[in-house]
Amino acid sequence: MPDDRYKEMEGYIAKYGFQCLEKNLTRFEAERTFQLDPEPPKVDDINEYVLMANREQKLLYLCFYLHHIEKILNGRIYRFFHREGLYAYNPLRLLDYKLSCVAAIMECLPGYDPDKGANFLTYAYYDIGNAILNCRRYEEAGSFKNLDEYKTVRGIAWLYNKAGSSRKKTIETFMQKTGCTKETAENYLRAARKNRGIVSIYDTVLRESDNEVDEDFDEDTNGDAGEDLSWEAGGTYGAILWGSSLGSAVRRAHGKLDYREQILLERHMAVCMDCGHVKPLRSRFSWEELAILFEGTTAGGAERAYKKTALHLAQLLVEDGFFHTIILKRKSQKMRKEKIAAATYQYLADCDGEWGEIQFDFEEKTAQIIQLADWDMMLSKPFAKYTISYLLNCQNEKLPKEAMISFEL
């Protein structure tokens, strides 16, 4: 595509009111980048804009077309993000993907023939998909010669995951599907396993201490190796965040939070939920900085908002069935020689229902259940038992006034 056509498109963007592509782009702006004000002239079929663009050789009509199909492009990119496990996204990332789709549309424009019976969006469907995949290819930490190689590596990675991480079964299936040699299939599988990108089709974590694939890997092993989903810069925390079932659950829950809650968590925890990058804790936002970021609040207000957001995230994880939570409140206490001799704690099971109550004698190391909390009515009383075990094993000087703990049944 000649450079002058892109310059022409940029001129229309400036003239007809497309959103300004600023560094601090919001999600609302990223989703409405191609919306015109005033709206373009109405036509019976938006495909007519494409025909006029070809007939009159003016990309202005393509701008009119993009105004109407932007929601469709957004939806297709969102679905791709979700399949990849990218439940939270950076507005600039959405815009990058969308502009790549526009470049693909511009490439398809001259060759479109309406007489073949397909509308333009159907005609460009395959090329738009390739543009989205190409964006993802450049985000991967692995190196791929071209898009075809990347597609092949993704395909064999999907087979590897479907086969339960069985190397032998994956190679046999891939050879049957493609007709390639065993050596070629092994090379593609090796590339897929060495790729360190964050892709949801890889569902296992590399267990070897070395990043290199062991050439003597047992052909019949099931689940002894998989794709390492962590970024090298992320360290152990990054590996947990992106490579485990906990990481997947957290990303899903984080994606359900509103924008303000997401920013609170990411800035204070010094982590990007979009790419998995974990920064040093010294670089995280303080309560004062968060208060400045969200105008009209104080440092104390920012801290309370953060704690409320953390509780909301925990509730979403509980709803997802990943673990259970217990919220503790100390109701009363008796002191003896600067130590807590006895105390009464209230506890709440899974962030919902009525509070239960337990009395503790920390000198005798005993506890008595006064009232069970809602959702703790089973014969085994797991929430009450875990609460008793947790508090009786706490050091006396570290007994909490309030706390939230999690556990798995």
Residues 169-190: pLDDT tens digits? 888 888 988 888 888 888 888 8
For the segment 304-330, the average pLDDT, to the nearest whole number, is 83
pLDDT at residue 32 in the model:
87
pLDDT value at residue 409? 55
Note the pTM of the prediction, 2 decimals.
Answer: 0.46
- How many other C-beta atoms can be found within 10 angstroms of the C-beta atom of residue 161? 19
Residue 399 CB coordination number (10 Å)? 18
Burial class for 272, CB neighbours closer than 10 Å (0-12, 13-18, 19+): middle
State the Cα–Cα distance between residues 46 and 149, nearest whole angstrom: 36
Q: State mean pLDDT over 247-254.
A: 76
Q: Can you tell me which residue has the tokens 């070809």?
A: 54
Instruction: Take residue 29 and report the two structure tokens written for it.
Output: 């702006």
Residue 101 pLDDT exceeds 90: yes
pLDDT of 226 above 60: no
Q: What is the pLDDT of residue 127?
A: 92
Q: How many residues does the chain have?
A: 409
Find all residues with CB under 8 Å of 30, minimum gap 6, and list them. Answer: 19, 91, 92, 94, 95, 98
381: left (phi over 0), alpha (psi -120 to 50) or beta: left
What is residue 195's three-state secondary structure?
coil
Domain boundaries, the chain: 3-139, 152-229, 255-319, 324-407
The percent of residues in the chain predicted with pLDDT above 70, rounded, is 75
Q: Are 94 and 114 in contact (CB under 8 A)?
A: no
| 60-73 CB burial, b ≥16 within 10 A, e <16 | bbbbbbbbbbbeeb
Q: What is the mean pLDDT of the chain?
A: 75
Could you give the CA distance from residue 393 to residue 399 in angstroms, rounded to a whole number? 9
Q: What is the mean pLDDT of residues 153-171?
A: 82
Number of helical H runs and strand E runs in the chain? 16, 5
Tell me, what's the pLDDT at 202?
A: 29
Q: What is the model's pLDDT at position 378?
A: 61
